[in-house]
Copies of this chain bind each other. A is one copy, B any other.
Amino acid sequence: MTSNPPTAQQDVLPSEHPGDLDRHDPEREIAARAVAFRNWGRWGEDDRLGTLNHIDDAKRVAAAGLVRTGRTISLSMAFDMSGPQKGWRRRTNPVHTMLDTGTDAERGQGFPHGLGGADDVIAMPLQCATQWDGLGHIFDHGFAWNGRRAGDVVTSEGDLVTGIEHAASVIVSRGVLLDLGRHLRPETGELEDGYAISVADLERCIQAQGASSAVGRGDIVLVRTGQFGRARREGWGDYAGGPAPGLSLTTAGWLHRTEIAAIATDTWGFEVRPNEFDVPAFQPLHQVVIPNLGLTIGEMWNLEELGTACAESGRFDFLLAAPPLPITGAVGSPVNPVAVL
A257 lies within 8 A of chain B by Cβ? no
Among the listed stretches A35-43, A168-176, A189-197, A201-209, which one makes contact with chain B, having 4 or more residues with CB under 8 Å of it?
A168-176
Q: How far is the CA of A144 from the CA of B326 in the complex (A)?
A: 31
A307-341 to B contact mask, C-beta < 8 Å, 1/0: 00000000000010101111111111011111010
Given A101-B104, A282-B111, A72 and B154 touching (CB < 8 A)?
no
Q: Looking at the complex, which one of B115, B119, B127, B140 makes contact with A332 (CB distance below 8 Å)?
A: B119
Residue A238 at the B interface, CB < 8 A? no
**Cα distance, A121 to B87, chains bound together (Å):** 13
| Chain A 95-129: CB-based contact to B (< 8 A → 1; otherwise 0) | 11111111111111001111111111111111100
The 0/1 profile, CB within 8 Å of B marked 1, for residues 148-161 of chain A is 01111111111100
Q: Which of A224-257 contact B (CB under 8 A)?
A: none
**Known contacts A27-B114, A118-B159, A120-B330, then 12 further A-B pairs from the complex at CB < 8 Å, ordered by chain A residue:** A1-B106, A58-B70, A61-B69, A103-B155, A106-B149, A106-B151, A112-B282, A115-B287, A117-B137, A120-B127, A122-B123, A325-B335
Chain B residues positioned under 8 Å from A168 (CB to CB): 74, 76, 336
Once bound together, how far apart are the Cα atoms of A103 and B148, in whole Å?
Answer: 12
Cα distance A334–B335 in the bound complex, in angstroms: 10
Question: How many of these chains are in the complex?
Answer: 4
Q: Interface size class for chain A?
A: 35 or more
Query: Chain B residues with Cβ under 8 A from A326's Cβ?
Result: 74, 76-79, 336
Q: How far is the CA of A101 from the CA of B104 in the complex (A)?
A: 9
Residues of B within 8 A of A61 (CB): 67-70
Interchain Cβ contacts under 8 Å between A and B, 24 examples: A30-B114, A57-B71, A61-B70, A72-B172, A79-B325, A81-B87, A90-B96, A90-B97, A92-B92, A94-B327, A98-B156, A99-B125, A101-B101, A101-B104, A102-B149, A106-B150, A115-B138, A115-B286, A118-B139, A120-B127, A120-B331, A168-B336, A321-B321, A323-B336
Which chain B residue has the least Cβ–Cβ distance from A82?
A: B328
Contact (A96, B327) CB under 8 Å given A120-B332, A122-B123, A154-B102? yes
Within the assembled complex, what's the spacing in Å between the Cα atoms of A68 and B283? 41
Closest to A149 in B: B106
C-alpha spacing A139/B116, complex, angstroms: 5
Q: Is the CB of B119 within 8 A of A89?
A: yes
Q: Contact between A169 and B73 (Cβ–Cβ < 8 Å)?
A: yes
Q: Pick the contact of A327: B80, B149, B152 (CB < 8 A).
A: B80
Distance to closest chain B CB from A189 (angstroms): 21
